[in-house]
Amino acid sequence: MDGSDEALVGRVAGGDEQALELLHARHATVLLRYALQLTGDRGRAEEAVQDTFVGVWQSAAARFEHGSTVRTWLFGICRRQCGRHTRAVPPPTRPLAEAVDLPDGAARPEQVALARADVTAVGAALARLPDTHREVLHLAFAAELPHAEIAALLGIPVGTVKSRLFNARAALARALPVDHLTAKETGR
């Protein structure tokens, strides 16, 4: 029996509860992390994930059109459920002037800063980022979605995904403290 996500969705559409349980087991954890990032509240995040799978069970499985991967499709459903649970207004935009301009060919300072920062500092820096940047970082790095799937999920061009990732990583690097160098690294 085919155990792919696509096959499971087909089985769910036919009323197979075990297939829904398998989909849940495969994707609920990463969807919960995503929902928590979007809602900022564990209870609302759990409700959004639960409603995602209820929706898949009730009718969404019959509407899966194979235009994306099942994982991306589930992220889309979860994203809409989070919006329903938070009734949030769109995140505020920031002026383009706040974007950092790093010269081409420069060393990747955000990678150096991230490697030196501790978890608390990274968490605090992430919390200061605009929602659009946090979301694209989460989808790219925590959910490991390719740029094309992130673009489809968010309804934006792939170039915008790349731009948001670049700006988010640069802003994150700027927000991290640089005093995490050890004496060994500085030669003291």
pLDDT, mean of residues 31-52? 91
For the cut 60, the answer to whether the pLDDT of residue 107 exceeds it is: no
One domain, residues 78 and 129 = no
Helix/strand/coil for 43: helix
Q: What is the DSSP letter of 58?
A: I
Q: Same domain, yes or no, for 81 and 153?
A: no
Q: Is the pLDDT of residue 184 over 80?
A: no
Is 91 part of any domain?
no
Are 110 and 153 part of one and the same domain? yes
> In the prediction, which pLDDT does 86 show?
67
Which residues are CB-neighbours of 97 under 8 A, at least 6 positions away?
none
In this structure, the answer to whether residues 33 and 78 fall within a common structural domain is yes
Number of domains making up the chain = 2
- Which residue would you say has higher pLDDT here, 70 or 1? 70
Q: Return the exposure string of 151-185: e unless at least 16 CB atoms fall within 10 Å of the residue's CB, then b.
A: bbbbeeeeebbeebbebbbbbbbebbeeeeeeeee
Give the residue-averaged pLDDT of 162-167.
Answer: 93
Does residue 93 lie within any of the structural domains?
Answer: no
Out of 9-13, 50-54, 63-67, 76-80, least confident range: 63-67
In sequence order, the 6+-apart residues with CB closer than 8 A to the CB of 1 are: 7
pLDDT at 73 over 50: yes
125 and 74, same domain (yes or no): no
122 and 53, same structural domain? no
Which has the higher per-residue pLDDT, 159 or 66? 159
- Of 41-45, 60-64, 79-83, the one with minimum mean pLDDT is 60-64
| pLDDT band with cut points at 50, 70 and 90 for residue 110 | low
Counted residue by residue, the chain has a size of 188
Q: Which pTM value belongs to this model?
A: 0.63
Q: What is the C-alpha to C-alpha distance for residues 40 and 20, in angstroms, rounded to an integer? A: 26
30 pLDDT higher than 80: yes
In a domain, residue 32? The reply is: yes
What CATH number corresponds to the domain at position 29? Answer: 1.10.1740.10
The CATH number of the domain where 157 resides is what?
Answer: 1.10.10.10
Which domain-ending residue is among 33, 61, 86? 86
Q: Are residues 113 and 158 in the same domain?
A: yes
How sure is the predictor about 124, in pLDDT bands with cuts at 50, 70 and 90?
confident
Residues spanned by the domain of 58: 5-86
Q: Which whole number is the average pLDDT over 71-80?
A: 90
Asked whether residue 135 is assigned to any structural domain, the reply reads yes
Are 79 and 116 in a shared domain?
Answer: no
| 96 occurs within a structural domain | no
Q: What is the pLDDT of residue 99?
A: 45
Average pLDDT for 170-181:
72
